[in-house]
Amino acid sequence: MNAILPSRAAHERRWPLLPRRPSLWQLTSVTVALVLALPVLVIFGHVFLPSTDVWVHLRETMLGEYVTNSLLLLFGVGVGVLVIGIPVAWLVSVCEFPGRRIFQWALMLPLAMPAYIIAYTYTGMLDFTGPVQVLIRDLTGLGYGQYWFPEIRSLTGAMLMLTLVLYPYVYLLTRAAFLEQSVCVLEVSRTLGSGPYAGFFRVALPLARPAVIAGLTLALMEVLADYGTVAYFGIPTFTTGIFRTWYGLADPGAAAQLAAVLLSFVFVLILLERWSRMRARFHHTSSRYSTLPRYQLRGWKAAAAVTACLLPILLGFLIPAAQLSLWAARTTDHWMNPAFAELVFNTFSLAAMAAVIAVALALILAYARRMQGGFITGLAVRVAGMGYAVPGTVIAIGVMLPFAWFDNTLDAFMREQFGVSTGLLLSGTLVALLFAYAVRFLAVSLQTVEAGLGKIKPSMDDAARSLGMRPLATLTRVHLPIMRGTLLTALLLVFVDVLKELPATLILRPFDFNTLAVRAFELAGDERLAESSSAALAIVLVGLLPVILLSLTIERSRPGQRQRARQRTGSPGSEPLAVPAGAQAA
């Protein structure tokens, strides 16, 4: 036996990627990953199928317009989120001015406002019949066509709407990077004569570049995934084209091929983000924490900082929320109707089921990675978590095609053999919708669960094993009680994401089954904006919960936060915390 061990160890050193022996956890993780990757594989598989007449028509007529509008949206929103997100992140992180403590969490409020809801709200306010233009006509006496007013239902309007709700992605990650930056680097830049502007552009911003690019990538992926805003404004993009091809032209194959083109855009964004992080290294120069004095802003500088932080909050959350509240107050008969209570029940029960499924799958994958490790398990976890980068429209098409094929094949077989119709078992049911949600939002729960498991020391697993516990018993009796808060956070994040999801729900929902998002979209499409406010406001209010969680998490991310609290209270262990040196990762 002892003679065998050296050769086996040498073999494992030569082939570190090969697992020792496939375990049940590893096989389960690989199976889950393959099942969840099915929609993406189906979409890519249609690339190699023969082109239909509809696809040839789309390629020759509309594809160029889809590409152009999508690229213009990406460029406009990309510039907008950078212009807003980076300066406000710097202001609340290293400057002191009136209201800074409020702004640092209030700037995340637009995350609770879906883009399609803010689009409905501003259209109702800024359209020809809206209160703003009515007030202009009353004050000036001018009539229709006698004054200029920007058109909200336009490509520029869509850029603005998406920018107002997506800039928090850049703000969140950039602020976290500023809070975690090496204090000594910034102090040295000050001693060398760098003022606030030079320290920002020459030191802080280059160090935060990975976080900035990661936030920008997330925002741009949301732009590509958006359907409600561009559909309501009548802008031809990939998502509206997929819906038109699926429903209007009734060609699932062409819709899948169009979805494959959209998916290629998403993968290009991901590759660019990865490439940008591989090209540079960002290191701390100190492993100890000390408090960095903030730049004290006074006079016009303080007023400018307050204005810069207040405008995104006003335009991205406060004004739309106030308008939705006014509409909801005027349409009490709508949201107090029993039909609205049924709508809320459908939405919340669906979101709860999806959240439980996503967190359960995340637990399986994360624990398999912890138990087994290795290249294959890690790859399975990565594959399973890639769905968040895929637009909901693409996932819906990738789910519907194989599910419809299975239903039709089974129904034809049962009719031929037994004269019985099985009907729709998967497609057109909640099964398809829940599966799409699991593919789309597994990454949200997976990251949260992996972070929670990472905080549990491996010695606890060893202790449980020494007491005779098998892996499953260790997970249920040791890890789950410790991770209760983490699991609740993961459930909440998936719950809210499902609540706001629109395109996948529109395509896959069962007949005569509505959610708050779908109902708001339908009413807004019929120009019944006031009646849509109750459903939209419910989504916004529930969306505030993860915003609060994110604010608390980022506030505690500053190195030395606990040590400063101990210093204030005089508790033991008040020495500065030694934080490990390393690269700033987004």
Locus of tokens 């907008």: 80
Residue 220: count other Cβ atoms within 10 Å of its Cβ. Answer: 24
Whether residue 210 contacts residue 283, with contact meaning beta carbons closer than 8 Å, is answered with no
Q: Which two tokens stand for residue 407?
A: 């239903």
Give the predicted TM-score (pTM) of the model. 0.82
- Given this model, what pLDDT does residue 436 score? 94
Using the predicted structure, report yes or no on whether residue 47 has a pLDDT greater than 80: no
**For the segment 134-160, what is each residue's pLDDT rounded down to a tens digit?**
888 888 888 877 788 888 899 999 999
Closest to 398 measured CA to CA, from 63, 29, 35: 35
Q: Are 549 and 488 in contact (CB under 8 A)?
A: no
Half-sphere exposure of 95 (CA within 13 A, CB side): 27
In the chain, domain spans: 23-60+331-408+422-525, 62-319+579-586
Residue 295 confidence (pLDDT) above 90: no
pLDDT digit string (tens) for 352-384?
Answer: 999 999 999 999 888 888 877 777 888 888 888
Q: How far is CA 98 from CA 102, 297, 313, 554, in A?
A: 9, 9, 16, 20
572/36: higher pLDDT: 36
Tokens coding 77: 């929103």
Q: CA–CA separation, 60 vs 52, rounded Å?
A: 12
pLDDT winner (highest mean) among 91-95, 193-197, 313-317, 494-498: 313-317
Task: Reply yes or no on domain 62-319+579-586 having CATH 1.10.3720.10.
Answer: yes
Residues paired with 583 in a beta bridge: 283
Q: What is the pLDDT of residue 199?
A: 64
Nearest to 533 by CA among 333, 366, 362: 333
Q: Does 546 score more than 70 pLDDT?
A: yes
Q: How high is the pLDDT of residue 388?
A: 79
pLDDT at 576: 34
Q: Which amino acid is at 558?
A: R
Residue 115 structure tokens: 């883009």
Q: What percent of the chain has pLDDT over 70?
A: 83
Q: Which two tokens stand for residue 65?
A: 């317009």
Residue 574's pLDDT is 35
Tens digits of residue pLDDT in 227-258: 999 999 999 999 999 988 888 888 888 888 88
The CA distances from residue 516 to 122, 392, 398, 432, in Å, are 19, 17, 24, 19
Q: Which CATH superfamily is domain 23-60+331-408+422-525 in?
A: MetI-like (1.10.3720.10)
Q: Percent helix, strand and coil across the chain, each rounded to 5?
A: 75, 0, 25
| Number of separate helices (H) and strands (E) present in the chain | 31, 2
Query: Predicted confidence band at 490 (pLDDT cuts at 50, 70, 90)?
Result: confident
Q: Nearest CA to 246 among 477, 489, 504, 451?
A: 504
Closest alpha carbon to 162 in 243, 242, 225: 225
Average pLDDT of the chain? 81
In this predicted structure, what is the pLDDT of residue 583?
Answer: 32
Compute the distance between CA of residue 265 and CA of residue 221 in angstroms, rounded to an integer. Answer: 9
Is pLDDT at 452 greater than 70 in this prediction? Answer: yes
- Reported as a single tens digit per residue, the pLDDT across 405-425 is 998 999 888 888 888 888 888
Residue 183: pLDDT band (50, 70, 90) is low
CA distance 520 to 385: 29
Provide the 8-state DSSP code for 574: -
Band of pLDDT at residue 127, cut at 50, 70 and 90: confident
Helix (H, G, I), strand (E, B) or coil at 527: coil
Which of 221, 229, 217, 242 is CA-nearest to residue 398? 242
| pLDDT bracket for residue 6 (50, 70, 90) | very low
Q: pLDDT: is 585 or 65 the higher one?
A: 65
pLDDT at 566 over 60: no
> Is the pLDDT assigned to residue 515 strictly greater than 50?
yes
pLDDT score of 565 more than 70: no
> What is the predicted pLDDT for the residue at 55?
84
Over residues 37-57, mean pLDDT: 83
